[in-house]
Structure 1
């Protein structure tokens, strides 16, 4: 997730949804995956191995996040389809609190909602209003594999929900109203063309043919 206004259903516990060491293999340096790269919509596997490789990946994700002026980053945004996110609401190395969440699930979300002008590192330079619950209660594991439950509110809750959506293969414009989406449609089309020019392949998404993802309309459910 990018700071506002600056240019700056979960998975089952089936074995086939568990990440292998190969799923978390990465070559440095990590790079931000931009829309409409299909890795942003791919299924993200649960992590079952908590080792030095995972810690190194989390550290490198923080490096990428800070270098790109972000405040949150999910593994699929760097091409890793596993359930890992990092964030720091302050967005500055050495300040605030660095948070790493592995295999997070939403236990409960508030009925109260608020709108916020969100940005996303996978959508460079694009900002638009998104309505989300004001607070969430989540279950997760830390970088060492220890289970915990925590309540988040305000900006930390907003960042978590944005990154959690990424882990579900959901993008921030999936939660926008039609009017808000229309306001950034031309920018999304430009990213689709950029993808086609760089890859020589047709864009896997076409915002002109986009239909709201009804399964996400109700927000979160317990997973």
Structure 2
């Protein structure tokens, strides 16, 4: 397993729509193992492959509480197939937008279809943190960031802040 670099806003690759995974290969298994190591080290509860500069529809997730046993989950080619009318608000953060946390409103419940590492298709209902996290990570696969749910003023401020920091880092 290898720790991979997480790409940070304003990196344009974060806006790329990720490609479907056609079959489970040794490279996909290695990617997933690396993503878990990277996600846990960060630390985070979800990571989309595009966040480690791999434009494939792969997500790793573990929403277990810090002191509980780990519950690693893999979602390959995930898609939301149903959403509740009811909404919920969670404070979200993102490993690609460090140190920024904002309230985001999303559907309270979703039904998600995905493939596991054995190539088996699953459908699950998600609510609470699971629903929020899976929606956040699927958004990444579609080039959408949680900032897109914020007001234009707040979003523009955060993007400017990260763009300025990236320019400063590049000049050093």
The two structures share one fold, judged by TM-score above 0.5: yes
Post-superposition offset of 1:124: 0.5
* Structure 1 residue corresponding to 2:83, chosen from 109, 120, 127: 109
Q: Which residue of 2 aligns with 1:208?
A: none
Q: Do the aligned residues in 2 keep the contact of 1:69 with 1:91 (CA within 8 Å)?
A: no
- Alpha carbon RMSD of aligned pairs, Å? 2.0
* Structure 2 residue corresponding to 1:36, chosen from 10, 14, 22: 10
Q: Which residue of 2 aligns with 1:155?
A: 129
Post-superposition offset of 1:96: 3.6
1:22-101 equivalence runs, <5 A: 28-90=2-64, 92=66, 95-101=69-75
Q: Which residue of 2 aligns with 1:189?
A: 160
Paired with 2:23 and 2:88, the residues of 1 have a C-alpha distance of 36
State the aligned residue count. Answer: 171
Paired with 1:149 and 1:82, the residues of 2 have a C-alpha distance of 20
Paired with 2:135 and 2:51, the residues of 1 have a C-alpha distance of 15
- Segments of structure 2 that go 5 or more residues without pairing to the other structure are none
Please give the secondary structure, in 1, of the residue aligned with 2:17: coil
1:150-176 deviation line (CA, Å, top 9, x unaligned): 111111111000000000000001112
Paired with 1:184 and 1:147, the residues of 2 have a C-alpha distance of 36
Paired with 1:188 and 1:128, the residues of 2 have a C-alpha distance of 14
Paired with 2:63 and 2:143, the residues of 1 have a C-alpha distance of 22
Q: Do the aligned residues in 2 keep the contact of 1:134 with 1:153 (CA within 8 Å)?
A: yes
Moved over 4 A (4+): 91-94
Q: TM-score, normalised by structure 1?
A: 0.71
* Structure 2 residue corresponding to 1:145, chosen from 119, 129, 132: 119
Paired with 1:126 and 1:150, the residues of 2 have a C-alpha distance of 30
- Segments of structure 1 that go 5 or more residues without pairing to the other structure are 1-26, 201-223
